[in-house]
Amino acid sequence: MKGIKIVATGKYLPRNIVSNNDFSEIVETSDEWISQRTGMKNRHLSSGEPTWLMGSLAAQDALSSGGIDPLDIDLILVTSVTSDYMTPSAACLVQAHIGAQNAICMDVNAACSGFVYALDMARRYLCFDDIRRVLIVSSETLSKITDYTDRASCVLFGDAAGACVVEAADSLYSSDLGSDGTKAQLLYCKNPFQVKHPFMKPELVPEYDEIISPETEFLYMDGREVYKFAVKALPKAIGAACEKAGIRVEDIDLIIPHQANIRIVETAARTLGVPMGKMYVNLEKYGNTSSACIPMCLDEISKGGLLKRGQTVAVVGFGAGVTYAAAIFKW
């Protein structure tokens, strides 16, 4: 089976930078409290940039850095939980903006695992000769769904977009993906649109048990339970992907985790038995940007020359759904 190679990366960050001290002016918190519990210092927040535009600018950055013609993109996958439209897809809007008229377009919603899900989808499409180059764009405007009166959660999230171009390669690739919908109530944001039409007949609705009983119109997270899920899911997914690839965890040169919380990353590193130096972390600068976290890390790594071609990389995400996903490949 074919592996993959990432041939170009890009990102977009809103210019509006909000610090921990800025949050102390709107909720009862402090820089020390936030830093010690999350590892975060700053995050970028949109001042009106729509999700599709941020994704398009990240895509343009990737195409420019790789010297790639937009017309050579065969498939665009956009991951997001904060798309601007129910339809059309964000991928179609990105396609129109960057001029990639030859691309198939579709969106993926796997929350914070979205990029790794899309990477695995890209690899499967690339196993066939009619798809040669895939553009993955992860764009999130979490400020749209964040409750800025909730001191526990509002400090966690930022807005950003990351992108990469993926091609097939005869090299190592392994993945482990999973979901558990029975835990959907741990992290959610309800669609504001409801069934309201003049032909309603409630007596015709079959009996059912509500999976999620929304407590807020904003993003809701059971922090304690999400933490318990994440510290198990991250090492489990990495370990399973290593086993499928026939390698050891210590053979991985760099692990890029979803940037949710420094304590999650530290706990996962201990469970895996790897030093924190092998875990790439940048959440102090950007906070949790959902599916955009990992491709933004990849862009920093690529443009900073932090990896050499042929080294082994693992990416791992976990999030609402609940979902988790890990992929191992050669840089």
Residues involved in catalysis: 112, 258, 288
As a whole number of angstroms, the distance between CA 63 and CA 32 comes to: 39
Nearby residues of 80 by Cβ (< 8 Å), 6 or more positions away: 51, 55, 90, 107, 109, 114, 138, 139, 140, 290, 291
- Locate 189 and state its tokens: 């944001």
Contact 252, 223 (CB under 8 A): no
Q: Is 14 helix (H, G, I), strand (E, B) or coil?
A: coil
* CA 205 vs CA 56, 191, 197, 201, 209: distances in Å: 41, 20, 14, 8, 12
Contact 87, 298 (CB under 8 A): no
- Locate 200 and state its tokens: 């309603």
Instruction: Write down how long the chain is.
Output: 331
CA 193 to chain centre: 25
Which helix (H) or strand (E) segment holds residue 177: the answer is strand 173-179
Tell me, what amino acid is at 91?
Answer: A
Task: Tell me the β-bridge partners of 75.
Answer: 104, 134
Q: β-pairing, 159-169 with 134-141? A: antiparallel
Residue 273: exposed, middle, or buried by beta-carbon count in 10 A (0-12, 13-18, 19+)? Answer: exposed
As a whole number of angstroms, the distance between CA 274 and CA 172 comes to: 21
